[in-house]
Structure formats: C-alpha cells, structure tokens
Amino acid sequence: MTRRETLLRVHRDNGCIFTLTLTLDPEGGDRGITFTEFYDYGPLGDDPGREYGYSVHAPYDAMETLADHYALDAPGSAADRLVEALRTLVQDGDRLGLKGNQHRVLEGFEVAGVPATTSVWSWIND
C-alpha cells in the first residue's frame, strides 16, 4: 500500500502553496521512495498559474538503510522512522531557496550510500 506524507505545507504571501512530501510505494521499484519539493502557484491577475516539482527518488528496498541513517535509535517501523526523521530535517524547509530541500535530501541519501536520482516536473496553465 502506498503511503504519502506531507512533511511541510506553507501558504506563502505570494499565493504559492509550498509543500514537501514523502511517498513510500512498495511497488515503485527504483522510485519507491520519493521526496518532493512542490510549488503550486494558482492563477493571479494575468498569470494563469503554474506548478513545479523537484524530487529525489530511491529504491523502496533502501528503506531500512535510510531509516537507520537518519534515525537509528528511534522507535517504530523503518517507514515511520524515515517519515519522522525527514519531517524534522525539513522543518525549516520553507526558508531554503529553490531546490534547496531537494539538494538537502539528495545529499543525505548519498551519504547513506543509497542510489538516488532526481527529477523535475512542471506544468503551466495556458
């Protein structure tokens, strides 16, 4: 069963809804663990709106390695430990620049020795 957790959600003064999420999908293969930094700009004046997402992906089978890297002695399942550890890691994530959280999480995954990839997604309302 896929698990999606919102780690941080902020409605910015400029109308942007900024979110940091973690998706854990046992059927996701090499993208079974996905952290996403997401910007949702709704329509405003002549601007029809747009969305941007910057993700870090890791294999689902790296869950235990990542949980141990971030929260070795914490109680709970590997998934629970990883979610709470990343929630703590990005609690100040709204203050980082564009892709700042993506880079922060990617660096942690790499330090843990987990093969990670990144992706960028965008949508612009025409």
pLDDT digits 0-9 by tens, 18-37: 999 999 999 999 999 999 99
Q: Is 100 helix (H, G, I), strand (E, B) or coil?
A: helix
Q: Judge whether 110 and 118 are in contact, CB under 8 Å.
A: no
Query: What is the extent of the structural domain holding 35?
Result: 3-124
Total-model pTM: 0.92
Distance CA 13, CA 30 (A): 36
Number of domains in the chain: 1
Give the whole-angstrom CA distance, residue 98 versus residue 70.
Answer: 23
- Percent of the chain scored above 70 by pLDDT? 98
How far is 103 from 55, CA to CA, in rounded Å?
Answer: 9
Cross-strand partners of 35: 22, 56
